[in-house]
Structure 1
Amino acid sequence: MTGKDDYYNRAKQEGYRARSAYKLQQLDETANLFDDGDTVVDLGAAPGGWLQVAAEEVGPQGKVVGVDLQRIDDLDAHQVSTIPGDMTEEETRDRLRRELGGSEADVVISDMAPNMTGEYELDHARSVHLARTAYETATEFLKPGGDFVAKVFQGKDLDDLEADIEESFQYVRRVDPDASRDSSSEVYLVAKGFTTAPVATGDQLTVEITDTGAEGDGIATVEGFTVFVAGADEGETVEVAVTDVKPNFAFAERVE
């Protein structure tokens, strides 16, 4: 028996519903996904191993909502709720909005996988489709600065998927948890720092400086988004180049 086969036995002994619970633990150790009190959305949550880990990590003040077409037996954790349904259907998305009570999620995680056909390219394509569905859900429900995790099978469309996700986050990396089986082609895309900024690094634009920040930088707003401009004074209208974009603000410099 290999070390990775031991995860199945460990799950039974430690009360987790699936060996995949250890994958999420290892993803969290690698990327620091969860904090006390976080709100987490778990897609493809059955049978509930990831729900158990997420509930442990966010604590009694947190909230964890699992979504899956399959039935998820109730967990002994008051902060966990479940929704039966398909995230491609608007009815399910409406139920998730109501369950979140109008709040946004700190983390969206997805362990969704297609029913395997044995045709590698087809299985890969289906896994990419599910990961894109999870990504679309994340962009709808995540708060700025939130994190996203999705499982996908390696293949020719992985680079494009990763590039698309990276457009909405500070960075994306591929993580292969030790708890994944040796024979598996799965990898997890871990995206940190969700941003809906209307500007991107390298953009050049003309802005009006309307205030001054604590560090003396000029402050402009672009579609309600804050941009700090070095060396600019209140009342000026200046052309700037964006140098760095964070989830809630950006930095820019004058273009001479």
Structure 2
Amino acid sequence: MTGKDEYYNRAKQEGYRSRAAYKLKQLDGEAELINGGDTVVDLGAAPGGWLQVATELAGEGGTVVGVDLQRIDPVDGVETIRGDMTDKETRERITDRVGEADVVVSDMAPNMTGEYSLDHARSVYLARTAFETALELLAPGGDFVAKVFEGPDTNDLRADIDEEFEYVRTIHPNASRDSSSELYMVAKGRLTAPVREGDRLEIEIEDVGSEGDGIGKVEGYTLFVADTEPGDTVEIEVTDVKPRFGFAERIE
């Protein structure tokens, strides 16, 4: 049995709208994307296979919103927005509706032309559109997934995503066809900090943490600095940035 037949048949038997549902299941299994109670936004959601999986993972306490230019048949507990993701108006409608999301996923793909370089470039454009939308929507620590066709622009896209998250990895789910060049950028831990690794700045130590490190603030963001005490004003270099706090070393 071919991979296509296997996942197509499983989708029919298990009530999923597309074989693509298993891609999100496998991505979640590897990267732990969606938890109970999460708010999830699915970009390019038609026909709704990913919405079905997202609602299962987010549970009754979760919120799932699907967006697509095509009509999406109703999915229990899911709100849909009909619009073109490349239009600013559609992105504004999503932001107004959702406010803040825990996870943004995108399985968007261009209409295929058969010309690989063009299809690749268009897939990168759609992935960037999803990425820019995710930056507007995601809460600190939130996760992002986007499909892209592998090619010369993939590394630049990954580097740009990596700057905004704790880390990013590429995953090729087993449910993808063997002949497919698609891969998924999976980014974990949205960073909203006003600093990045390597930044050097002066900071005043205001308090001491439970591990004995000094605590300073940059625009409300907490930095832990070893070998400092409250009242110190020190030059530091940022060494590690997490979604809600970071670490720095004193520059002697």
TM-score class, shorter-chain normalisation, is over 0.9
Q: Which of 89, 92, 96 in structure 2 is aligned with 1:91?
A: 89
Task: Report what 1:192 is aligned to.
Answer: 188
TM-score by length of 2: 0.97
Task: Report what 1:247 is aligned to.
Answer: 243
How big is the shift at 1:3?
Answer: 3.5
How big is the shift at 1:217?
Answer: 1.4
**Partner SS for 1:210:** strand
Return the alpha-carbon distance in structure 2 between the equivalents of residues 240 and 57 of structure 1: 42
Task: Report what 1:181 is aligned to.
Answer: 177
Bigger CA drift: 193-202 or 40-49?
193-202
Q: Which of 130, 143, 148 in structure 1 is aligned with 2:139?
A: 143
Task: Report what 1:52 is aligned to.
Answer: 52
Query: Deviations for 1:212-246, whole angstroms, at most 9, x for unmatched residues?
Result: 22222111111221111111111110011111110
- The correspondence of residues 62-141 of structure 1 with structure 2, limited to 5 A, is 62-75=62-75, 77-78=76-77, 80-100=78-98, 102=99, 104-141=100-137
Return the alpha-carbon distance in structure 2 between the equivalents of residues 110 and 97 of structure 1: 16
**Partner SS for 1:5:** helix
Query: Deviations for 1:7-41, whole angstroms, at most 9, x for unmatched residues?
Result: 00110111000000000000000000011000000
How big is the shift at 1:91?
Answer: 2.2
**Partner SS for 1:57:** helix
**Partner SS for 2:81:** strand
Return the alpha-carbon distance in structure 1 between the equivalents of residues 149 and 116 of structure 2: 9
Task: Report what 1:35 is aligned to.
Answer: 35
CA contact (8 A) 1:229 1:254 kept: yes
Query: Deviations for 1:144-202, whole angstroms, at most 9, x for unmatched residues?
Result: 10100000000000000000000000111110000001111100010001101121112
Return the alpha-carbon distance in structure 1 between the equivalents of residues 198 and 4 of structure 2: 45
Superposition RMSD in Å: 1.0
Return the alpha-carbon distance in structure 1 between the equivalents of residues 210 and 85 of structure 2: 43
Query: Deviations for 1:91-138, whole angstroms, at most 9, x for unmatched residues?
Result: 2123212322x3x10000000000000100000000000000000011
The number of residue pairs the alignment matches comes to: 252
How big is the shift at 1:84?
Answer: 0.1
CA contact (8 A) 1:4 1:178 kept: no
Task: Report what 2:6 is aligned to.
Answer: 6
CA contact (8 A) 2:39 2:62 kept: yes
Runs of 5+ unmatched residues, structure 1 = none
How big is the shift at 1:4?
Answer: 4.0
Q: 1:123 to 1:3 in 2, by over 3 A?
A: closer
TM-score by length of 1: 0.96
Q: Give the AA of the match of 1:97.
A: T
How big is the shift at 1:88?
Answer: 2.7
Return the alpha-carbon distance in structure 2 between the equivalents of residues 110 and 5 of structure 1: 24
**Partner SS for 1:37:** coil
- The correspondence of residues 197-212 of structure 1 with structure 2, limited to 5 A, is 197-212=193-208
